[in-house]
Amino acid sequence: MAGHKGQDYDFGRSIRRVLFGLAFFFLLSTFLFWRIDNPRAEQMRISILDKVIPNMEWAMAPITRVSQIVEDFQSYGRIYEQNQELRRELQQMKAWREAAIQLEQEKARLLDLNNLRLPPKLSIISGVVLTDSGSPFRQSALINLGKRDGIVDGWAAMDGLGLLGRISGVGENSSRVVFLIDSNSRVPVTIKPSNQKAILSGDNTLLPVLDFIENTDLVQPGDRIVTSGDGGVFPPDLLVGQAVLTSDNRFRTRLSADYKRLEFMRIVRHSPGLPITDPDRLVGPALPSETIAFPATDANR
């Protein structure tokens, strides 16, 4: 009897071992699949998230709301200071407003002189942040806009003021926004008064690095940084932030977008210009088709 039981036990154990091996194999092949065909694996992941996350909104909303209320309560503690600060800022803003109005009038006059036609305005679609990336090593968020709303991979995401990141992974009802601070984010930018080109590369801190600046002498802390539009992913001249010089003697960017209190974001609809595929069409006028037979006449002579 005891021997029989022992046999049973061994049998179950070996089955378990085989299943364990199968699971191991499955996981390994999943990892390899993810590594080799990354876009497709990420697409599958986003479709899973797309099924699950929007259903969790009812549970997420109250908790998110409570955390915000707690934060608001904390800010009551220094309401007087804040009030003073706001008054000071308001005073400064009034001065700036005056300057802006004057500049706007001047700009209108100049545009009128040039008879300039402005490009059609970029249109914007707003969405709500659903979830965080959940990992300390990935800086991204899921928003409630997807294919249904016509979202396309690569479009820029902004808060009211500055660039936040770009769409990477679109599901039916949701899509993922990879932030500029993610360590995989690389964005071509222009540093404004000097028009130096640089690459803004995230490194998991709130101050992404400005890489590949041609001449750092021309860059001052406080310079405005905007997207350059190189590479055709982002439209040019979206505000990114200001240059700062950190103690390790590198230029970094203080982003204008506020990641701390992010609830909504705006996705900029943008269709990049047609790519130039034929280099020879660029130079000279379009020639009639007879000239293509030129080598033949050459041979006759």
Partner 1 sequence: MSTTKLHHTWLFQLALILFSALIIFFHLIPFSLTPTPLPTPDILFCVISALIIRRPEIVPFWIVGLIYFGFDVFLMRPLGAWTICILGAAMVLRSNRDAFRENPFLFEWLYTSLIFLLALIVQQTFLAVSFVPTPPALSLVWEFVFTAAAYPIVLFVITYILRIKKPALGALGYKG
- Which residues of the shown chain bind partner 1 in the complex (CB under 8 A)? 2, 5, 9, 16, 19-20, 23-24, 27-28, 30-31, 33-35, 41, 45, 48-49, 52-53, 56, 59-60, 63-64, 67, 129-141, 179, 181, 183-184, 204-206, 259-260, 262
For partner 1, the closer of residues 162 and 229 by Cβ is 162
For partner 1, the closer of residues 53 and 191 by Cβ is 53
Min separation Cβ 7 and partner 1, Å? 12
For partner 1, the closer of residues 132 and 237 by Cβ is 132
Min separation Cβ 101 and partner 1, Å? 34
Min separation Cβ 100 and partner 1, Å? 30
**Region of 118 on the Ramachandran plot (φ > 0 left; ψ -120 to 50 alpha; else beta):** beta
- DSSP states of 242-281: EEEE-TTS-EEEEESS-STT--EEEEEP--PPPP---GGG
* Backbone φ, ψ for residue 159 (5° rounding): -90, -160
For partner 1, the closer of residues 82 and 205 by Cβ is 205
> Which of these, 171, 177, 178, lies nearest to 52 by C-alpha position?
171
Helix (H) or strand (E) holding 46: helix 38-52
Report the distance separating Cα 233 and Cα 168, nearest Å.
12
Min separation Cβ 237 and partner 1, Å? 25
> Which of these, 259, 268, 276, lies nearest to 151 by C-alpha position?
268
Helix (H) or strand (E) holding 225: strand 224-227
Min separation Cβ 295 and partner 1, Å? 47
For partner 1, the closer of residues 5 and 301 by Cβ is 5
Min separation Cβ 171 and partner 1, Å? 13
For partner 1, the closer of residues 206 and 216 by Cβ is 206
Report the distance separating Cα 156 and Cα 59, nearest Å.
29
